[in-house]
Chain A
Amino acid sequence: QVQLVQSGAEMKRPGASVKVSCKASGYTLTGYYMHWVRQAPGQGLEWMGSINPNSGDTKSAQQFQGRVTMTRDTSTNTAYMELTRLTPDDTAVYYCAKDRGQWLVFVYVMDVWGQGTTVIVSS
């Protein structure tokens, strides 16, 4: 079955960077866009950006531009999200989510989600 498995929890100091991985199974990563979404404690969902795993092209939300890098390794069917210059406000659960659109048609619908990766930023 289609599944996304994310890397484990991270604790970082302010100013550091974090890189979260998202390994896809049950389908080929390059066939569907991948989204990254985060959720701060007690808060709602926040879209961070998306990557076309075939071309590597990315689109990120304005508030993360310059700090977020989304990449992929097609040989391991894994997507990555790196966030730099962390502050305590970046403390959140970070999710990867597969877009529903087949043949890389971007439909902005997240039909399969990873289990989430908790990132805590604290001095």
Chain B
Amino acid sequence: QSALTQPASVSGSPGQSITISCTGSSSDIGNYNLVSWYQQYPGKAPKLVIFEVTKRPSGVSNRFSASKSGNTASLTISGLRSEDEADYYCCSFSRITTVMFGGGTKLTVL
């Protein structure tokens, strides 16, 4: 089964908001509230920023928020800052493959 579908890249100016989508199916996102999002800087390990669709781990900025509708999950970053420039990956439980990642989205802060 293919990875969850994310846009390859998104961009925004400082202070703006951006949203990254993550599309799956009824085998994963659509029927399970087990979507998480990870931020990854070049050469670094990923960092958890959202879990269980909407929850933020302690220490993650409240500029990060997320939601889900049908088979699509979304990550929104508001008040964009230069340090938000990174790759972002969605991840979901899948009843077919157990765990599935999205292909990743490169966020550029203009």
Contacts and interface: CB of A to CB of B under 8 A. Distances in A.
A107 interface: yes
A109 B50 CA distance: 9
Interface centre among A59, A100, A108, A116 (most CB of B within 10 A): A108
Interface size class of A (residues with CB under 8 A): 20 to 34
Contact of A35 (B51, B99, B102, B104): B99
B34 to A, nearest CB: 5
B17 to A, nearest CB: 24
A31 interface: no
Interface residues of B, number: 24
Give the interface SS of chain B, mostly helix, strand, loop or mixed. Answer: strand
B96 to A, nearest CB: 9
Interface in A14-69: 35, 37, 44-47, 50, 59, 61-62
Contact of B45 (A44, A50, A95, A107): A95
Interface in B81-110: 89, 91-93, 97-104
A50 B100 CA distance: 13
Contact of B46 (A46, A61, A107, A110): A110
Contacts of B34: 107-109
Contact of A50 (B3, B99, B102): B99
A45 B104 contact: yes
A50 B91 CA distance: 15
A46 B97 CA distance: 11
B104 A110 contact: no
Interface residues of A, dominant DSSP:
strand
Interface in A62-110: 62, 95, 97, 100, 107-110
B98 A47 contact: yes
Contacts of B3: 44
B51 A109 contact: yes
Given A44-B3, A45-B38, A45-B89, A110 B48 contact: yes
Interface of B: 3, 34, 36, 38, 40, 45-48, 51-52, 57, 89, 91-93, 97-104
